[in-house]
Amino acid sequence: MVRITGNFQQERVLHSASASLLTELFAKGWPDPSKLNNQSRQTALLLQQARESIAKHLNTRPDEIEFLGESDLGFQIGIQGLLNSQSTLHYSAIDRQKVFAVAAAEKNSGRSVNLLGVDRQGVIEESLVDPQDLLVWQVANGETGNIQSAPVGNCQIFADCTSSGIDCLPNFQYQSALFDSTSWAGPSGVGILVIKSNSKWRNPPTP
C-alpha cells in the first residue's frame, strides 16, 4: 500500500531537508532562467540540475519533464493533450475531482466518455478500449492506500501518480503522467508533468 496520512490526505509534512534548503534556493533561483545575464544562467543551471535529478528518480528523461506551478493543471494538460477526434476517454469512479471535471468538459463538447466502475476492494474494472482511446489510470489512492495493478488495455494512458509519487512508479507504459511533490514530502504547489517523447501529445487549447 502507498503511504497515507492520518487525515486521509495525500499531503505530507514538508521534509526537514526541503525546509532547510528553501531559503537558499529562493535566494539563488529568483532570476528568469530564459534571460542571458549571469544570474539568470545560474538559475537555468539549477533548473536543469533539478530536472535531471527528478528524471532519475522518476525513471524518465530530463527533456520529458515539465514543471507546473499548480499541480492540478497537469490533469487538463496531460489528459486533453493526448485526445484526438476519435478518442473515447475512460476514467474511473475513484479518480480525483479534477479528472471528473476534464471528463465533463469533454462530454459537453461531444466526446464519448466512459466511467469505469470499482469493486469492493477498490480495484478498477477495465472495459474494452481501442488504440486511439485514452485511459486515465490512478496508480494509487491517497485516501485508501490501494495500489492498482497495471492496466491491460492497448491504448494511450495518462498515469495519475499524484498520490503514489516515487514510492510506487508505474509498472506499465504510459504517454503522460502527473506527479505532485507533496507525495514525497516536498513543497506544495509543485507539479511534475511527464510527457513521453514518443507520445502523440499536443498542447491543448486553453479555455
Per-residue pLDDT, 119: 93
List the one residue out of 141, 138, 92 whose CA is nearest residue 116. Answer: 92
Predicted structure pTM score: 0.83
pLDDT of 187 > 90? The answer is no
- The residue whose grid cell reads 533561483 is 29
Per-residue pLDDT, 134: 98
Q: What is the rounded average pLDDT for all residues in the chain?
A: 85
Per-residue pLDDT, 180: 92
Strands laid side by side in the 113-116 sheet: 65-68, 191-195, 176-180, 156-161, 134-138, 89-92, 113-116
pLDDT of 154 > 80? The answer is yes
Per-residue pLDDT, 16: 57
Domains of the chain, earliest start first: 64-195 (3.40.640.10)
Per-residue pLDDT, 172: 96
Per-residue pLDDT, 6: 43
pLDDT of 12 > 70? The answer is no
Per-residue pLDDT, 18: 58
Per-residue pLDDT, 21: 58
Give the model's confidence band at 7: pLDDT under 50 very low, under 70 low, under 90 confident, else very high: very low
Q: Which of 85-89, 138-142, 170-174 has the lowest mean pLDDT?
A: 138-142
